[in-house]
Structure 1
C-alpha cells in the first residue's frame, strides 16, 4: 500500500480521498515547518502532499529514499527543488487550474481598489474622518490594461478587463494571434505595453527570464501615472526601483499581493499611502483551497495506483485511461533505448524515434522519455523517465520524433535510430497481443526476439559454420542458450544473432566469442524484465 505524508494544512476531504483510494496517509499539517523532522521521516513515504509552507530542499530530497511523487496544492512550485527531484526520478505535480479564477478575481479587486483608493478611504472613514475630496480616483472604462503573461490566470484577467470596457493589450511570447483575437486583446511587445498601459498587471511565473521584468529600466519606459498590480510572484518587480518611481510621482500607485521575500514583515513600500498590500491572498478563497486540495489528492492517488501523470511540471502527462494501454509501449521504448545504449560505445549526437500505427496514436512524449532513459542509462547510470529529456538536452543530443500511419504488417511499432560520431544504428520493436515487447528489427535486419534478463548480441559476416561455432563456444563455457534469434540482410551479407542465455555472459566468454571467425561485434546485453 502506498504511503503519503500531508505536511501542510490541506482540506480534510483531501485526506479522505487518499484513504478512500486505498492509500495509507499521515496527516501532519505542521510538520512542513520543521525541516529537520521532515528530513528525518520523509524516507518512509511514497508521496508528499504540500502547500507553500513546506520547503522541499535538496536535503529533504536526498533523504527521500522511497519518494515517487510530490503534489503541490496550488500553482507555484518554487518551494520545491525541481532539478534535484527530477534527478531522483520524483514526479512533481501542481494544480495550475484550481485557483486560476480566484487569483484573477483578486487581481481585478486590487486593480479596482487601486483605481478608487478604497483601502485608504476605508481606513480614513473608520478613523472618523470624512475626506471626500482627498480620495480622487480614476475610471477604468476606456483605460488601457497591460497584461504581462496571458496564460491561465492572465487570460481570465484580460477577459474581465474587456468586460470592464477597457482596452486590453498583452505581452506573452507564447500567445498566438488566434488566441489573442479570441480573448479580444491586442498582442504587443513588452516595450509597447510599457509605453501604452495605464494599468499593468503581472501574471507570469518567476523564471530567470522574468525576474525583475519590471526593472528600473522598464519602469522608466512606462507612461507617467501608471498603476501596477502584482498578484503573481514576488521578484517580478524591482521593489526598490518601484518605491523610487512612486516617490518620484512617475508611478501613481501599486497593489501588491506578493513580495520578493515572504512572509514580508518589513518592506520599503509598507506605509506608503499609494501602495495597497495584501499577504499573498490570491488563492485564499474557500472554493479555491478546497478545489486544489481535492485535485492534488486525486492526481497523486492516480499516479501511485495506476501510473497516470496529471499536471506534472517535470514529466509528460499520462491519463488514467491511457496508462494501462501505454504501459507496455513505454516498457518497449525503454528496452529499445537500453539495447541501443548497451551496444553503442561512441558519443550519441542525434536520436530519431519513429512511432507507426497504434504507437503513433498514443502519448509519444512518455515513450520518448522512456527511450531516452534506457539509452542514457548505460552511459550515465542514474537516469530515469523524469530526468532523461533534460540530461539528453544538456549533452547536446538532437532529438526528433516522427509519427506516421500503419504501413507494414504490424499494427504499430517503434523504431529508435541513433547517430554517433562513427555510425548510424537502429532498433525497432512492437508489443504483441500478450502485452510483451518484441524486437523485430536491428540494423534494418528483421528478426523476432523477446527481451530477456541475460542476452548476447553479435554481428557477423553471413558465412557457413558460424552458428555452430557460436553454440559450441557457449556450450563449452557452460552457457545454456534459452532462445536464438537470427537475421541477415542478404545471402552472404551482414548477419545478426540475439541469444537469450540463462546467466550473465562473462568477460572471458565474450572474448572467446569475439575471437570466432567472421565476428564483427559481440556484446553482452541485459534487461530488467521484472
Structure 2
C-alpha cells in the first residue's frame, strides 16, 4: 500500500479520499514548518501532499529515497525545487483549476477597492471622521482593463470585466488571436503599448525567468497617468519600490497587492504608500477553493500511486486513468527497445527517430517517448542519472535531437514501435511490438527480422552466417555455465550478417563476453540486462 505524508493543512475530506483509494495517510499538518523533522522521516513515504508552508528543497529531496510524487494543493510551486525533483524521478503536480474562480474574484474585488478607496474610507469613517470629499473614486464601467497573462485565471477575470462593461485588452505571448477573439479581448503583442492605454492593469502570470520584474521601474513609468495596478498573481513580478514612488508622485492613482516579493510580508514599502490596498495573499482563501484544491490533489496523487495516471504534472507527461492500462504493455516495449539500444550503442548519439506504427500511434505518445529515451540513456549516464521525468532534459543537454512520427499500419505486424539511433559513426534500428499475451517482443534489429521475448539477462551477438555457429555458441555458453532460456535468430541474407538474441538465466560477465568474442564467426557480443 502506498504511503502519503500530508505536511500542511489540508481538509479532512482529502485525507478520506486517500484512504478510500487504498493509500495510507500520515496527516501531520504542522510538519511543514519543521524542515529538520521532515527531513528525518521523508524517506518513508511514496507521496508528499503540501500547500505553501512546506519547502521541498533539493536538500530535503536528497533524503526522499522512496518519494514518487509531490502534490501541491494550489497553483504556485515556488516552494518545490522542480529540477531536483525531476532528477530523482519525482513527479510534481499542482491543481491549476481549483482556485481559478476564487483568485479571479479577489482581483476584481481589489480593483473595486482600489477604484473607490474603500479600505481608507472605511478606516476614516471608523475613526469618527466624515471625509466624504476626500475619497473621490472612479467608475469601472467604460474603463480599459489591461490583463497581463490571459490563462486560467486571467480569462476568468476577462469575462467578469466584460460583464462589468469594461474594455479588455490582454498581453500574453501564448494567447492566440483566435482564443482572444473567443474571450472577447483585444490581444496586444507590445506590452508597453498596452500599459500606455490601460486604466487598470492586473497581472495573472507565473513568476519565471522571463516574467520576473516584468513591470520594471521603466515600464511603470510608461503606464497611463492615473492608472491603477492590481497584482494577485506572484510577488516579484513588479518593482514594488517603483510602484510606491509612482503612488507618492501621483503618477499612479492607486494600487492593490495581494502578493509581495518577500512573504510573509511583515514590512513592505507599499504599506505606507497612499491609496494602496494590501492583503496577505488571500487570492485562494475561500472555503470553496481550499476544499477544491485539497480534494483535487488527493485524487491526482491517488490516481498516480495506484493506477499510474498522471494529471496536472509540471515535469511529466499527463496520463489519464483510462490511458494507463492501454499504455502499460507499450511502455514495456519502449523499455525493451530503449534498454537494448542504450546497451549496444558505443558512440555518441546525435539523434533519435521514433516511429509509432498502427494503433500504438493513436495513443498518448509522450509517456512512451519519455520511457524509451530514459531507458536508452541509463546505460550512457548511469542508473541514477536519468528517469522518465528527466530524460528529455538530459537528452537535450547532450545535444540529442528527438523526432516522433506516426504511421499507418504496414508490414507483418499491425502495430509496432521502431527506434532509429544515429550516432557519429552509424545508424541502427530496433523494433518491438505487443503480442496477444500482452507482453513485449523485439521483432527487428538492424532491419533483420527475429522474435525475441525480453528477459532480465540477455546476450546479443552479431556473426557471419556460417554453418556451425549455433553449435559453437551453445557449447561455449555450456562451458561457461550459462543456461539458455530463449534463443532468437535472424539474418540479412544467406551467408551475410546474422544476429542472435538469447535470454539466459545468469548475467554474462565481461570475461565471458571476451571468450564469446573469440569464437571465429562472432563480430560483436554484448551482455544485456533489463
Q: One fold, TM greater than 0.5?
A: yes
Whether the 8 Å contact between 2:247 and 2:274 is mirrored in structure 1 is no
Q: What displacement does 1:230 show? A: 0.5
Tell me, in whole angstroms, the C-alpha distance in 2 between the residues paired with 1:238 and 1:492. 75
Tell me, in whole angstroms, the C-alpha distance in 2 between the residues paired with 1:47 and 1:161. 40
Q: What displacement does 1:33 show? A: 0.4
Q: Does 1:188 pair with 2:188? A: yes
Choose the corresponding residue for 2:487, options 461, 484, 487: 484
**Equivalent residue number for residue 153 of structure 2:** 153
**Equivalent residue number for residue 394 of structure 2:** 391
**Equivalent residue number for residue 405 of structure 1:** 408
* SS of the residue 1:270 aligns to: helix
Please give the per-residue CA displacement for 1:26-79, whole angstroms capped at 9, x wherever unaligned: 111111101111111111111111111111111211111211111111011110
Q: What displacement does 1:145 show? A: 1.1
Could you tell me which runs of 5 or more consecutive residues in structure 1 were left unpaired when the two chains were aligned. Answer: none
Q: What displacement does 1:470 show? A: 2.0
**Equivalent residue number for residue 244 of structure 1:** 245
**Equivalent residue number for residue 201 of structure 2:** 200
**Equivalent residue number for residue 299 of structure 2:** 298
Choose the corresponding residue for 2:476, options 467, 473, 478: 473
Tell me, in whole angstroms, the C-alpha distance in 1 between the residues paired with 2:305 and 2:516. 44
Alignment of 1:126-525 (within 5 A): 126-189=126-189, 190-381=191-382, 382=384, 383-525=386-528
Q: What displacement does 1:24 show? A: 1.4
Q: What displacement does 1:439 show? A: 0.3
Whether the 8 Å contact between 1:416 and 1:427 is mirrored in structure 2 is yes
Q: What displacement does 1:131 show? A: 1.4
Whether the 8 Å contact between 1:195 and 1:222 is mirrored in structure 2 is yes
Tell me, in whole angstroms, the C-alpha distance in 2 between the residues paired with 1:129 and 1:55. 45
Q: What displacement does 1:460 show? A: 2.2
Please give the per-residue CA displacement for 1:372-398, whole angstroms capped at 9, x wherever unaligned: 110110011212111111111121211
Q: Does 1:20 pair with 2:12? A: no
**Equivalent residue number for residue 107 of structure 1:** 107
* SS of the residue 1:332 aligns to: helix
Q: What displacement does 1:224 show? A: 1.4
Q: What displacement does 1:13 show? A: 0.7
**TM-score w.r.t. structure 1 length?**
0.97
Q: What displacement does 1:471 show? A: 2.1
**Equivalent residue number for residue 60 of structure 1:** 60
Deviates most, 470-479 or 301-310: 470-479
* SS of the residue 2:338 aligns to: helix
RMSD: 1.3
Tell me, in whole angstroms, the C-alpha distance in 1 between the residues paired with 2:510 and 2:48. 44
Tell me, in whole angstroms, the C-alpha distance in 2 between the residues paired with 1:408 and 1:171. 50
Tell me, in whole angstroms, the C-alpha distance in 2 between the residues paired with 1:183 and 1:278. 29
Could you tell me which runs of 5 or more consecutive residues in structure 2 were left unpaired when the two chains were aligned. Answer: none
Q: What displacement does 1:370 show? A: 0.4
Q: What displacement does 1:347 show? A: 1.1
* SS of the residue 2:271 aligns to: coil
Tell me, in whole angstroms, the C-alpha distance in 2 between the residues paired with 1:231 and 1:404. 47
Deviates most, 513-522 or 378-387: 513-522
Whether the 8 Å contact between 1:194 and 1:222 is mirrored in structure 2 is yes
* SS of the residue 1:63 aligns to: coil
Tell me, in whole angstroms, the C-alpha distance in 2 between the residues paired with 1:458 and 1:251. 75
Q: What displacement does 1:412 show? A: 1.7
**Equivalent residue number for residue 98 of structure 1:** 98
Paired residue total: 527
Q: Does 1:5 pair with 2:5? A: yes
Q: What displacement does 1:241 show? A: 1.8
Deviates most, 513-522 or 322-331: 513-522
Whether the 8 Å contact between 1:120 and 1:273 is mirrored in structure 2 is no
Tell me, in whole angstroms, the C-alpha distance in 2 between the residues paired with 1:203 and 1:174. 13
Tell me, in whole angstroms, the C-alpha distance in 1 between the residues paired with 2:27 and 2:474. 60
